[in-house]
Structure formats: C-alpha cells, structure tokens
C-alpha cells in the first residue's frame, strides 16, 4: 500500500506474503519509497531493498527475482492508479 500525493509517497507498506512462513514486512523497501517521487528507478531500488537479508532455501532461490519483479510492478501500478 502506498499513500501518494501528487506522485510523492507519503507512506508505504510493503509486505511479502509468500516469502516466509509468516508475512515479511519489507521495511527497507518502505524506507526507500517514503518521501520520494515514484518513478521506474525508484521502484527498482525499492524492489531490491525488499529482498535485503533474504536467505532462500536451496529449492526456492528462484523466487528472489520473482519477488523483485512483483514488488517493482506493484509500486508502479500503485503510482499509475493514484
């Protein structure tokens, strides 16, 4: 969830639901977005930040680029919907 005013993110909530046994709040991604204008480069940075500290199991390392793409797309979709 992004709270956007004139393209600027006032607050963000980024949660990865299928990344761990419990939902994972991506606070680094939230910090990356807050107070900044949402554009493609920022969405990419936030997506990378969402995966900071990720420790995938051997059989699910493939999920990391998927999560990165999903976060980036969700941020850009929220910006377009605002």
CA distance 52 to 29: 9
pLDDT by residue for the chain (82 residues), tens only, comes to: 999 999 899 999 999 988 788 898 999 999 999 999 999 999 999 999 999 988 888 898 899 999 999 999 999 999 999 8
- Domains in the chain: boundaries: 2-81
Q: Which CATH architecture has domain 2-81?
A: 2-Layer Sandwich (3.30)
- Residue 42 CB neighbour total at 10 angstroms: 18
Distance set, CA 4 to CA 26, 56, 81 (Å)? 18, 32, 10
Q: What is the pLDDT of residue 53?
A: 86
- Alpha helices in the chain, H assignment, sequence order: 27-33, 40-50, 63-81
pTM: 0.91
* pLDDT at position 35: 98
Work out the widest C-alpha separation in the chain, in whole angstroms.
43
How long is the chain? 82
pLDDT at 68: 96
């Amino acid at each position: 969830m992004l709270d956007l005013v004139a393209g600027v993110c006032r607050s963000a909530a980024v949660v990865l639901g299928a990344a761990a046994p419990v939902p994972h709040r991506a606070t680094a991604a939230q910090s990356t977005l807050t107070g900044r204008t949402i554009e493609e480069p920022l969405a990419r940075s936030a997506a990378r930040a969402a995966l900071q500290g990720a420790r995938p199991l051997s059989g699910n390392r493939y999920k990391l680029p998927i999560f990165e793409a999903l976060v980036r797309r969700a941020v850009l979709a929220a910006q377009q919907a605002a």
